[in-house]
Structure 1
């Protein structure tokens, strides 16, 4: 399977080869989640799949980097991203504000990339515990996929580092509201000397993406690569590509997070203009960090696609201020971002029509 070099070549492969496998996996996990005994865990598991499908769809595009059978890679990406989205829901809408609880839950994400199984129960610090084996099954699926990779041993340490960033972020950002910023700023102090151009909330955004993990796993199934590529991938995706990814996510969720009392990193910028300038900075730095990487044109499409796809979200169609932000970011991404923006708008619209059609059928 040759790697596409431009958006026109990419999208047919995405719709024909990637998305059907993603939806097949999500259908399986949705059926599994529907059998979870505890009503709260079942609700959050099903909601995480229903509302965050595009996270799996977007991440799975990186599976094309393997240039061969993408099935085991997509199985990993969907399972790992589903763990991430499920735990994010559990923490965001938590019946607990205990950091020990969040740490225990996120042990599953470390276990998933180390191919080890925790001897302790992930739900041990919360009242809701009966998930019918759902979280363990997701972790085991990750193990099954990674064990098929000939380069797993070469990427393992990088996976653990990126997963550790992600898990620590989730713990710090979901505790009591008055503890969140002090915990995050103290955490950033450990890395500030190496990342002097970042603010604490930008570093937090960089930690919150799974793209680096998905890129490493995808390349680890490619028989044509050399092992030194993995360090280059790690350094290319972290911090800037991952930071751009999550900052865009927070841009579109600002109103929703404000209403829900959730921490939003974009709210810490002194103004919308500063926020736009920093997103442009992250976009420029992403391009610079990817230039020496194999398959640069493909990776550039990924971050330019992020600009377009996130801004096609209906939450960006609100007040004039959001429209201004949308125009500014799409302009920064150039023609490729505009292409993905238009493509995503059409795709989201078709999905909405399909969903509404199903609702009508069920109501008749």
Structure 2
């Protein structure tokens, strides 16, 4: 599908990012209309600080087989990721630490992948409720796109499994600081029997990614799709590619999370050497599993792109220890990672000037 990183980057800049920007502008406008000041604050903050999550996720839309399908895929990815980041902010920065509230909020994500599911009162355990239909609209857009896919019945069980991992993680990781590690350890012990070599914080990282869901959505819009392909995508992305994705996300957020008192999976490694060893293992395992997915070259390039995208983030520059280790992680990714790293830095610099 893509034989080199240059052609991939050209298509990302010209076919993906402009439509992502259009979708993000829509959701910013909707967030501005939220009546409740706290909900509005968290919606806008998530769009401001986490927009690059949508940009990275939307790259999977290149798997769609025509322009209309590509744009539909981007609509789903941006809506689903925007929902994820908004709910994460509500749980991280919200006014209560109630697991029932976290579970109710994340019902929106469970419903978003099932077009036949009716919506519920996602805010039922909190006093802030008036979002002007913002969360319902995010669910509606996701359901509408999946309703129009050719193979939704095939991907639903696999999307559902990844979605469950994600939503369960969000409930446990946002409770009080005294409870969260113990809850996550207990949860991981019941869920990671197939991957006993993964520490509880590594398995939790694997559960926290949305990449497998985006990949399944993009492929399901194609004309040709099968159960075998869905299985290869699920096994290809979970756990290692998804784990690498979230470890990178937490890696660059270490200073911010320490300041805010938020849980960070990278903090559970003994030292930088152990963390670097884990990155090396996840990169190696991810490249191996990506080789078993259709269009393996594309997925392996995506891995190198993930490394370049995250490690080029401005947060890395401001953290000395992170910056030093980031250079070693980039080296693990090889020549193509250096290319994506350089391109991402140029793109970020240009965006900062506009």
The TM-score range, normalised by the shorter chain, is: over 0.9
The 5-angstrom pairing of residues 140-219 of structure 1 reads 140-219=140-219
Q: Using the TM superposition, give the Cα deviation of residue 174 of structure 1 relative to its aligned residue in structure 2, in angstroms.
A: 0.4
Of 17, 20, 23, 1:19 maps to 17
* Deviation readout 1:206-225 (Å, 9 max, x if unpaired): 00000000000000011134
Q: Paired residue for 2:127?
A: 127
Which residue is equivalent to 1:362? none
**What is the aligned partner in structure 2 of residue 47 from structure 1?**
45
Structure 1 equivalent of residue 289 of structure 2: 289
Q: 1:100 and 1:82 mapped to 2: Cα distance?
A: 22
TM-score (norm 1): 0.95
Q: Does structure 1 residue 99 correspond to structure 2 residue 96?
A: no
Return the alpha-carbon distance in structure 2 between the equivalents of residues 192 and 87 of structure 1.
25
Matched ranges for 1:214-233 at <5 A: 214-233=214-233
By how many angstroms is 1:323 displaced? 2.5
1:95 partner SS: coil
Q: Which residue of 2 aligns with 1:245?
A: 245
Q: Give the drift of 1:319.
A: 4.5
Give the TM-score normalised by structure 2: 0.97
What is the count of residue pairs matched by the alignment? 352
Deviation at 1:118, TM superposition (A): 4.0
> What residue in structure 1 maps to residue 29 of structure 2?
31
Contact 1:212 1:242 in 2 (8 A): yes
Partners in 2 of 1:292 and 1:94 — Cα distance?
41
Q: Using the TM superposition, give the Cα deviation of residue 274 of structure 1 relative to its aligned residue in structure 2, in angstroms.
A: 0.3
Residues 59 and 211 in structure 1, CA contact (< 8 A), matched pair in contact too = yes
Cα shift at 1:291? 1.1
Q: Please state whether the residue corresponding to 1:189 is helix, strand or coil.
A: helix
Residue ranges of structure 2 left out of the alignment (5+ in a row) = none
Residue pair 2:309, 2:344 contacting (<8 A) in 1 also: yes
Aligned to 2:62: 64
| CA distance in 2: counterparts of 1:175 and 1:230, whole angstroms | 34
RMSD, aligned α-carbons: 1.1
CA distance in 1, matches of 2:131, 2:312: 35
Asked if 1 retains the 8 angstrom alpha-carbon contact of 2:111 and 2:119, the reply is: no
CA distance in 2, matches of 1:294, 1:157: 19
Q: Secondary structure at the match of 1:190?
A: helix
- 1:189-231 residue CA offsets vs partner (Å, 9 max, x unmatched): 1133311110000000000000000000000011134331000
Offset of residue 244 of structure 1: 0.1
**Counterpart secondary structure, 1:36:** coil
Asked if 2 retains the 8 angstrom alpha-carbon contact of 1:250 and 1:264, the reply is yes
Counterparts of 1:314 and 1:104, CA distance in 2: 34
User: Is this contact kept in 2: 1:108–1:118, CA < 8 A?
Assistant: no
CA distance in 2, matches of 1:263, 1:309: 22
Q: CA deviation at 1:117?
A: 4.1
Go from structure 1 to structure 2 and tell me whether the alpha carbon gap of 1:319 and 1:253 turns closer, same or farther (over 3 Å shift). closer
SS of residue in 2 equivalent to 1:45: helix
Q: What stretches of structure 1 of length at least 5 have no aligned partner?
A: 355-364
**Partner residue in 2 for 1:302:** 302
Distance 1:161 1:305 in 2: 26
1: CA distance, partners of 2:125 / 2:294? 44
C-alpha separation in 2, matches of 1:235 and 1:161: 12
